Amino acid sequence: MEKRNYSRGVNFRAPRSESAEKIEMIFGLRPILEALNAGKGLERIYLQKGQKNSITQDITELAHRANVPVALVPPEKLDTLTRKNHQGAIAYLAAITYMPLDNIVADIYEKGKVPLLLILDRITDVRNFGAIARNAECLGVDAIVIPSRGAAQVNGDALKTSAGALNVIPVCRENNLKDTLHFLQQSGIQIVACTEKSDTDITSSQLDFTGPTAILMGSEEDGISPEYLKKADVRVKIPMIGQISSLNVSVASGIMLFEVLRQRLAETK
């Protein structure tokens, strides 16, 4: 059997913040617009509801192009974030640099490696996200994919919980996960959904995770969105025998990724 290369993935290593204290806030319409025009990485933008002018329109359009989520909020929300004159606009600088997924996938294949990606559907708890990133880095994931909306803010807590993993593993932020799943499938990568709604558990001899694979994990509240489950090539569940039939998503991701690594290491022997 031909040996496959399961060494670590692409070498996209952008500068990352080292501590929570370095994650900064900027406020004011023009400073945020200038930051977007300068290509600065923004984590999230808050704009005051009902505030419509040419600058807010430009901010919204540029943010959409850069996959930066924009939330329209009441002025009270902005006042809780800062006591300074925010002019109805606040943004957080990104703690990490998000990477383009298409470039990462192309680079993995060019290097003769077998892709292993982790897709997170609406993981909103920052500590869960940090723990998942730690699992992913330890178990050989090439990149983590998250949606631009409905995902945990990658902040100091996430960086700390990841134990440095978020300084190493690439993270891709995508506007439309449905389109992302289609792109990955067109790139020869199977989508494996980890869900309790499956009849097949991860120990089944019929499952093969040694080829190009993307593991899809769902939210803490209701699992994977139905529209994404329909797109999955394979659905699997983690077998459990205890009375509490649910796992924290960070624990579940570790079990799922270990099974992928186990199969791949067994194939190389």
pLDDT tens, 23-59? 588 989 999 999 999 988 899 999 999 888 899 999 9
Q: Residue 6: pLDDT band by 50, 70, 90 thresholds? A: low
- The domain that holds 57 is classified in CATH as 3.30.1330.30
Query: What is residue 246's predicted lDDT score, i.e. its pLDDT?
Result: 77
pLDDT tens-digit readout, 212-233: 999 999 988 888 999 999 999 9
Does residue 9 fall inside a structural domain?
A: no
Question: Is 82 found in the same domain as 145?
Answer: no
Does residue 87 fall inside a structural domain?
A: yes
Alpha-carbon distance 90 to 261, whole Å?
Answer: 42
DSSP string across the chain: ----B-S----------SSGGG--EEESHHHHHHHHHTT--EEEEEEETT--SHHHHHHHHHHHHTT--EEEE-HHHHHHH-SS--TTEEEEE-SS----HHHHHHHHHHTTB--EEEEESS---HHHHHHHHHHHHHTT-SEEEEESSSS----HHHHHHTTTGGGTS-EEEES-HHHHHHHHHHTT-EEEEE-TT-S-BTT-TT---SSSEEEEE-BTTTBS-HHHHHH-SEEEB----SSS----HHHHHHHHHHHHHHHHHHHH-
- The domain that holds 232 is classified in CATH as 3.40.1280.10
- Residue 204's domain comprises 101-268
Domain count of the fold of the chain: 2
Query: Could you say which of 50, 76, 93 is where a domain stops?
Result: 93
Average pLDDT over residues 82-108: 92
Question: Is 238 found in the same domain as 186?
Answer: yes
Query: What is residue 5's predicted lDDT score, i.e. its pLDDT?
Result: 56
Mean of pLDDT over the chain: 88
User: Above 70 in pLDDT, residue 9?
Assistant: no
Does residue 140 fall inside a structural domain?
A: yes
Question: Is 194 found in the same domain as 174?
Answer: yes
Query: Could you say which of 70, 93, 116 is where a domain stops?
Result: 93
Does residue 13 fall inside a structural domain?
A: no
Question: Is 116 found in the same domain as 80?
Answer: no
Does residue 255 fall inside a structural domain?
A: yes
Does residue 15 fall inside a structural domain?
A: no
Question: Is 159 found in the same domain as 71?
Answer: no
Does residue 3 fall inside a structural domain?
A: no
Average pLDDT over residues 132-154: 93
Question: Is 109 found in the same domain as 38?
Answer: no
Q: Which residue has the higher pLDDT, 155 or 132?
A: 132
Question: Is 192 found in the same domain as 262?
Answer: yes
Does residue 11 fall inside a structural domain?
A: no
Question: Is 163 found in the same domain as 78?
Answer: no
Question: Is 83 found in the same domain as 60?
Answer: yes
Query: Could you say which of 68, 93, 118 is where a domain stops?
Result: 93
Question: Is 161 found in the same domain as 244?
Answer: yes
